[in-house]
Every structure is written in C-alpha cells, then in structure tokens.
C-alpha cells in the first residue's frame, strides 16, 4: 500500500467523524469553549451516554481533546483549525447543494434580509464608537471567550434590557456561528423596538479562529 493511500485512509477517518449531524452539533458547541460531557449533552439534547460516544469518535479523529476534572470529563476542540474545517464544509455545501440553499432561505433569510457585518467592518464601527456589540449567547459561553467590549445580553433577557441599550449607536449582535438563530432573533427584536441593528456575519468561533482579539471572564 502506497504512502499516499495510507494518508488518504487517515484523512477518511476525519471525514467519517464529520459524517454525523450530532457530531457537527457537538463541534459547534465545543467551538464556544471547553465543556463537560453533561453540559454538552444538555446543549445538544442527547443523552449523556450518546454524547460521550460521539465525543470519543471526535477525539479518536483528532478533532477534540479531553481532560478529567474531578469526577467529570471535559472536552474542547483540538485547535482553531477545526473551526476552519467546519467553515469550509459549510461553504462547499452552500455553494453546491440546492437543498442547503433552500434551507437557508426558508429558515434564516426570512429573519434578516440586510447584509450582515463583517469582521473588518465591526472593528471600524467599534473603534469609531458607531456601534455597540452584544453577545446573545448564554453567560457560560460568554465567560469562556467573547469579542472585546461585547456586552452579554442573553436572548431571553433582551426584552427587559432594551431600555439600557443606546439609541445613538448601531447594535451588532452575534452568537455561536452563521447558523445560530439567536443573533437573527435578537436583531429582529431590536428592529421591532426601533433600534438600528444588524448581526455579525458568523459568530464568536470564526472571530477567534481568524486571530482576532478575544477576552474571557465577565
């Protein structure tokens, strides 16, 4: 067997690990930061046993790493290249699968027809004071890592915190990634309340993977 064939077999291990909607969901969750098996099970709606099985497959393929903390096992992505791999997979599917285009139009574009904010544009808007950035993910994900200066406003708290948001700045919301509906729903609520609002073109994992500045903690 040639060296190239041996390599392709190993590459196929990675591809096989990605060939599961449940495991792709786990990778999206892990892209927000390190989590325990129990937390990941809750985030994805799977049983702990099923979650643990899928995580082991991801670990065996080199996509995730684990550590023990007391009685719990914690997982995280092996590195930011995994986020890039997921992004490449998404872009290829969007470009060449008509079904993906239909799903995006029916489930995402209906929330927002405006052009989202790119990374470079967001930096300019925040540096000039023209925009305020809100992170609409749960607090534990925000604490694990967020865009510098972003204020954590979980989607469920948004209606009660509208009075504290500035009217003289554009509000830019972001969440877990390009297909996370939290930012879409936040922008929709903000516009209905009379705010100028847009969403970031993707999410925190893509921002971090792009070597942009990141903060952690409260």
Question: Which residues have a catalytic role annotated?
Answer: 175
Query: How many angstroms separate the CA atoms of 93 and 84, rounded?
Result: 14
> How far is the C-alpha of 165 from the C-alpha of 181, rounded, in Å?
21
Phi, psi angles (nearest 5°) of residue 125: -65, -40
Cite the DSSP H helix spans in the chain. 3-18, 21-30, 37-44, 48-60, 81-96, 98-104, 119-127, 139-144, 158-161, 181-192, 204-209
Residue 84: how many CB atoms within 10 A of its CB?
A: 14
Nearest to 184 by CA among 102, 105, 112: 112
């Amino acid at each position: 067997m040639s060296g190239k064939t041996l390599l392709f077999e190993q590459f196929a291990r990675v591809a096989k690990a990605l060939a599961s909607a449940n495991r792709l969901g786990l990778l999206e969750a892990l892209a927000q930061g390190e989590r325990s098996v129990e937390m990941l099970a809750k985030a994805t709606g799977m049983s702990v046993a099923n979650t643990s099985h899928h995580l082991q497959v991801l670990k065996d393929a080199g996509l995730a790493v684990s550590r023990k903390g007391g009685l719990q096992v914690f997982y995280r992505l092996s590195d930011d290249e995994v986020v890039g791999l997921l992004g490449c997979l998404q872009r290829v599917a969007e470009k060449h699968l008509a079904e993906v285009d239909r799903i995006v139009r029916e489930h995402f574009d209906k929330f927002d027809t405006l052009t989202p904010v790119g990374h470079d544009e967001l930096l300019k808007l925040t540096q000039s004071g023209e925009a305020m950035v809100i992170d609409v993910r749960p607090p534990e994900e925000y604490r694990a890592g967020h865009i510098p200066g972003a204020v954590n406003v979980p989607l469920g708290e948004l209606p009660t915190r509208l009075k504290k948001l500035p009217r003289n700045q554009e509000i830019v919301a972001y969440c877990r990634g390009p297909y996370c509906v939290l930012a879409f729903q936040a922008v929709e609520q903000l516009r209905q309340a009379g705010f100028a609002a847009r969403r970031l073109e993707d999410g925190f994992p893509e921002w971090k993977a792009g070597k942009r500045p990141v903060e952690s903690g409260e």
